[in-house]
């Protein structure tokens, strides 16, 4: 860390001299940019691309689930070789679709797209830094992600199809090409892509951590940082500690696949042949995977929670309730998320005693999560709530976080999980608490910081339409899955027509309904896309601080140049949540206003904030 700091020092000073009036070539400005704002936009646009891909894939497999008899021959120009002669999706393609959907959404959209965008964009702006600690590493982070994206994209079209063992790629299924055709070339590319992805995540995370620790402006003490920054910081720490474990899991899998080792393989007879591998443990992979996998779900949700904290405070015109409790619960969640991983493995065959331990630890993590939810609601109480689209999405996030967190209490209790594991109940749980909630944080962030990103406003009416269709749509898609799960319907099933006699009929209508809602919701996202791209060029010009917000990114020019502030970086004089302070005639006091200028509203405990 010391090294990065010293090596970037000269650079930061350089910016002081020539701020904006330094023409950059197209390539250094837009492509190999080292400016955190441009890199953030690169991540955002790539994330949007992947989100469309992920959404399109899910629409395809929802067609298979909801309209199993539909003839898709009309789509054959696009997805020709994925269809059976009857115009139906091939069962192995179905598995490939869900695998790619999960991988894309979890890693490429909600990890890279979300953290990459907002950690990059907001950390320097909100802590008062000219740029990231290392602009070069930051650029590398994006380009490793880009490479990883290319490899993953190519894998969709290779012979045998992309990886198809589920996003959790449990071996032996993922290790043996004989087991499923996606475990051939597709799986190899998946592993290469993820290795590149991990490099990118590590470069990014190390940078975020260093920047937050070392480059805060004068007066920006840790406890004056906005909750967004806290969330990004803990997210980055989780990433640094957990992604290497996934890398080692992947490396061992690569060895098993290509070099005849037996880390995960033992006593296997497949395709008419007994393999020589002995002594490996398939469960080992699951431990390694979930040691990343569980922190990963918090890597996905924490940035969204941070974004939401900021927006809910700003748009309720009220301080976030229990700032310190929020910080401690972010940390609590961060630490605990490392010791609950085996709740994904209650019935994997591991020792039931381990199951007991992980049940206890898992339900402990529900406590800080509950505290966060209560604090959001308390922030709304007696606020003066302005429903900007960002605020709506934030409220939507809290709603999802509660709904999905509560179903976690069922799954976390091992004895209930016996019956719910790998059913649609789990699918409902994590699509609500992770998928929907985190996506809503992403949307909220885009609507809220769009003016800072592009100097223009997004259209509000389209924002409202987008929100209501998406909010209602997401509930319509994911809530019914609880019932299907309680009824014992397994996930990752291509079709339920072979399922237990007499029971398939029970949910045909519901499945059709869910698919219908899913496709409508997916299509509604094009409203957002239109709004986004139209507003970049034609949106109404933004003012400097359009939401009357306190954090210091709003003290930069409407479109901040390289180095962010043309003059000196503002000094931070107070915490970021002085909204509606009694005595003040305005309902917000930005962080750079000294207490000495606001004697009318100062409070005895101001200095402790």
Q: Which does 300 bind (CB under 5 to 8 A by kind): Cu ion, other proteins, ligand HEM, none?
A: ligand HEM
- 592: number of Cβ within 10 Å: 19
Instruction: Round to whole Å and give the CA distance between 20 and 562.
Output: 6
Stretch that binds other proteins, among 42-50, 187-195, 226-234, 368-376 (CB under 8 A): 368-376
Collapse the DSSP code of 216 into the 3-class scheme (helix H, G, I; strand E, B; otherwise coil) and give the result: coil
**Minimum distance of other proteins from residue 571's CB (angstroms):** 22
In the numeric block, the tokens 């192995």 are attached to 92
Q: Which residues lie below 8 Å from residue 190, measured CB to CB, with a gap of 6+?
A: 103, 152, 155, 162, 163, 169
Q: Which of 17, 25, 500, 607 binds other proteins (CB under 8 A)?
A: 500
Between 301 and 474, CB nearer to ligand HEM:
301
Q: Does 371 bind other proteins (CB under 8 A)?
A: yes
- By CB under 8 A, is residue 63 in contact with other proteins? no
Site string for ligand HEM, 251-290 (x = CB under 6 A): ----------------------------------------
Q: Using CB under 5 A, list all residues that contact Cu ion.
A: 294
Residue whose CB is less far from Cu ion, 294 or 581: 294
Q: Which of residues 389-428 bind other proteins (CB under 8 A)?
A: 391-392, 395, 398-399, 402-403, 406-407, 409-410, 413-416, 418-419, 421-423
Considering the complex, state which of residue 429 and residue 456 has its C-beta at the smaller distance from ligand HEM: 429
Write down the least CB distance from residue 76 to ligand HEM, Å: 31
- With tokens 């940082």, the residue in question is 225
State which residue, 317 or 571, has the beta carbon closest to other proteins.
317
DSSP annotation string for 309-348: HHHHHHHHTSPPTTHHHHHHHHHHHHHHTTS-GGGG-TTT
Minimum CB–partner distance for residue 290 and Cu ion (Å) = 7
**Window 137 to 166, contacts with ligand HEM (CB under 6 A):** none
The end-to-end CA distance of the chain, in Å, is 28
Distances (CA, A) of 2 to 5, 9, 280, 299, 378: 5, 11, 41, 26, 41
The verdict on 97 binding ligand HEM (CB under 6 A) reads no
Question: Which letter does DSSP use for residue 165 in this model?
Answer: S
Whose tokens are 């199809």? That residue is 161
**Among candidates 150, 122, 80, which has minimal Cα distance to 208?**
122
Place of tokens 């970021």: 576
Q: What is the largest CA-CA distance in the chain?
A: 84
Alpha helices in 434-550 (DSSP H): 437-454, 460-486, 508-538
Number of residues that bind ligand HEM (CB under 6 A): 23
Restricting to residues 163-182, name those near ligand HEM by CB under 6 A: 168
Binding mask 246-285 for other proteins (x = CB under 8 A): -------------------xxxxxx-x-x---x-xxxx--
Query: Quick one: tokens of 297?
Result: 């779900």
Show contacts with ligand HEM in window 221-250 (CB under 6 A).
Answer: none
How many Cβ atoms from other residues are within 10 Å of residue 59's Cβ? 18
The answer to whether 72 contacts other proteins (rule: CB under 8 A) is: no
464's contact among ligand HEM, other proteins, Cu ion, none, with CB below 5 to 8 A by partner kind, is other proteins
Give the count of beta carbons closer than 10 Å to the beta carbon of residue 4.
17
Binding pattern to other proteins, positions 317-346, x when CB under 8 A?
Answer: xxxxxxxxx---------------------
Cα→Cα distances 85→17, 56, 59, 82, 484, Å = 67, 22, 21, 10, 30
| 83: partner contacted, choices other proteins, ligand HEM, Cu ion, none (Cβ within 5-8 A by kind) | none
Q: Which residue is nearest to Cu ion (CB)?
A: 294
With CB under 8 A as the contact rule, the residue among 30, 157, 387, 533 that binds other proteins is 387
Backbone angles phi, psi at 270, to 5 degrees: -145, 145
Nearest distance, CB of residue 180 and ligand HEM, angstroms? 18
Measured from each CB, the residue nearest to ligand HEM is 408
Options 119-127, 195-203, 431-439, 479-487: segment touching other proteins (CB under 8 A): 479-487
Whether residue 486 contacts residue 571, with contact meaning beta carbons closer than 8 Å, is answered with: no
Partner from ligand HEM, other proteins, Cu ion, none binding residue 301, C-beta < 5-8 Å depending on class: ligand HEM
Binding to other proteins by CB under 8 A, coded x per residue (else -) over 580-609, reads: xxx----x---------------------x
Q: Which helix (H) or strand (E) holds 496?
A: none
Q: How far apart are CA 349 and CA 450, in angstroms?
A: 49
User: Binding of other proteins at residue 176 (CB under 8 A)?
Assistant: yes
> Is the CB of 5 or the CB of 460 nearer to other proteins?
460
Q: Alpha helix locations (H) across 170-281?
A: 185-214, 227-258
Spatial neighbors of 310 by CB under 8 A, at least 6 apart, are 226, 227, 228, 448, 551, 576
Q: How far is the CB of 365 from Cu ion (least distance, A)?
A: 9
Give the H or E element holding residue 75. Answer: none
CA–CA separation, 510 vs 507, rounded Å? 5
CB 528 within 8 A of CB 443: yes
DSSP letter (8 states) at residue 183 = G
Chain positions 376 to 435 lying near ligand HEM, rule: CB under 6 A, are 405, 408-409, 411-412, 417, 420-421, 426, 429-430, 433-434
Question: Within 304-363, which residues bind ligand HEM (CB under 6 A)?
Answer: 343-344, 362
Q: At its nearest, how many Å lie between ligand HEM and the CB of residue 272? A: 32
Judged by CB, which is closer to other proteins: 388, or 592? Answer: 388
- What beta strand segments (E) does 41-148 contain? none
Nearer to ligand HEM, 171 or 405 (CB): 405
Between residues 271 and 360, which has the closer beta carbon with respect to ligand HEM? 360
428-467: contacts with other proteins (CB under 8 A): 457, 459-462, 464-465
Q: Which residues bind ligand HEM (CB under 6 A)?
A: 168, 297, 300-301, 343-344, 362, 365-366, 369, 405, 408-409, 411-412, 417, 420-421, 426, 429-430, 433-434
């Amino acid at each position: 860390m010391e090294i990065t700091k010293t090596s970037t020092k000269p650079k930061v000073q350089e910016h002081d001299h020539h701020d904006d009036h330094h023409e950059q070539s197209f390539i250094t400005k837009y492509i190999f940019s080292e400016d955190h704002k441009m890199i953030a936009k690169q991540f955002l646009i790539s994330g949007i691309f992947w989100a469309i891909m992920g959404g399109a894939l899910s629409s395809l497999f929802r067609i298979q689930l909801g309209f199993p008899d539909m003839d898709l021959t009309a789509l054959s120009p696009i997805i020709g070789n994925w269809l059976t002669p009857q115009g139906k999706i091939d069962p192995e393609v179905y598995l490939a679709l869900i695998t790619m959907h999960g991988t894309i959404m979890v890693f490429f959209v909600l990890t890279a797209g979300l953290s990459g965008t907002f950690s990059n964009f907001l950390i320097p702006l909100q802590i008062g830094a000219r740029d990231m600690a290392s602009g070069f590493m930051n650029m590398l982070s994006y380009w490793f992600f880009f490479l990883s994206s290319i490899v993953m994209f190519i894998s969709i079209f290779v012979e045998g199809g992309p990886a198809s063992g589920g996003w959790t790629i449990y071996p032996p299924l993922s290790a043996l090409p004989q087991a499923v055709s996606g475990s051939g070339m597709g799986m190899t590319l998946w592993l290469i892509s993820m290795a590149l992805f991990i490099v990118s995540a590590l470069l990014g995370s190390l940078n975020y951590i260093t920047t937050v620790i070392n480059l805060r402006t004068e007066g920006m003490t840790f406890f004056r940082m906005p909750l967004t920054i806290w969330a990004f910081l803990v997210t980055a720490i989780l990433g640094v500690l957990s992604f290497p474990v996934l890398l080692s899991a992947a490396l061992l899998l690569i060895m098993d696949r290509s070099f005849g080792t037996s880390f995960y393989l033992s006593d296997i007879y497949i395709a008419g042949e007994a393999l020589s591998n002995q002594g490996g443990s398939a469960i080992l992979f699951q431990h390694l995977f979930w040691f990343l996998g569980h922190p990963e779900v918090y890597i996905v949700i924490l940035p969204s929670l941070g974004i939401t904290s900021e927006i809910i405070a700003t748009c309720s015109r009220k301080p976030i309730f229990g700032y310190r409790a929020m910080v401690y619960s972010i940390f609590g969640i961060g630490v605990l998320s490392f010791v609950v991983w085996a709740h994904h493995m209650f019935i994997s065959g591991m020792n039931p005693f381990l199951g007991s331990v992980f049940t206890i630890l898992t339900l402990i993590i529900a406590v800080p999560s509950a505290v966060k939810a209560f604090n959001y609601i308390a922030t709304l109480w007696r606020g003066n709530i302005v429903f900007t689209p960002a605020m709506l999405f934030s409220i939507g996030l809290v709603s999802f976080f509660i709904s999905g967190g509560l179903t976690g209490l069922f799954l976390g209790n091992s004895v209930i999980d016996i019956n719910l594991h790998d059913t649609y109940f789990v699918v409902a749980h994590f699509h609500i608490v992770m998928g929907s909630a985190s996506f809503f944080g992403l949307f909220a962030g885009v609507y809220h910081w769009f003016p800072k990103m592009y100097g223009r406003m997004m259209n509000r009416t389209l924002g409202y339409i987008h929100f209501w269709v998406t909010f209602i749509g997401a509930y319509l898609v994911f809530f019914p899955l609880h019932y299907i799960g309680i009824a014992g319907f397994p996930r990752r099933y291509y079709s339920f027509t072979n399922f237990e006699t007499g029971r398939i009929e029970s949910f045909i209508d519901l499945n059709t309904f869910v698919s219908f809602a899913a496709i409508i919701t997916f299509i509604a996202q094009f409203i957002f896309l239109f709004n986004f791209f139209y507003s970049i060029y034609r949106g109404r010009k933004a003012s400097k601080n359009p939401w009357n917000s306190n954090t210091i990114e709003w003290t930069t020019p409407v479109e901040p140049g390289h180095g962010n502030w043309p003059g000196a970086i503002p000094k931070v004089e107070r915490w970021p949540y002085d909204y509606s302070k009694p005595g003040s005639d305005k309902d917000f006091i930005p962080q750079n206003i000294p207490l000495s200028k606001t004697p009318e509203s100062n409070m005895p405990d101001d200095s402790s904030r």
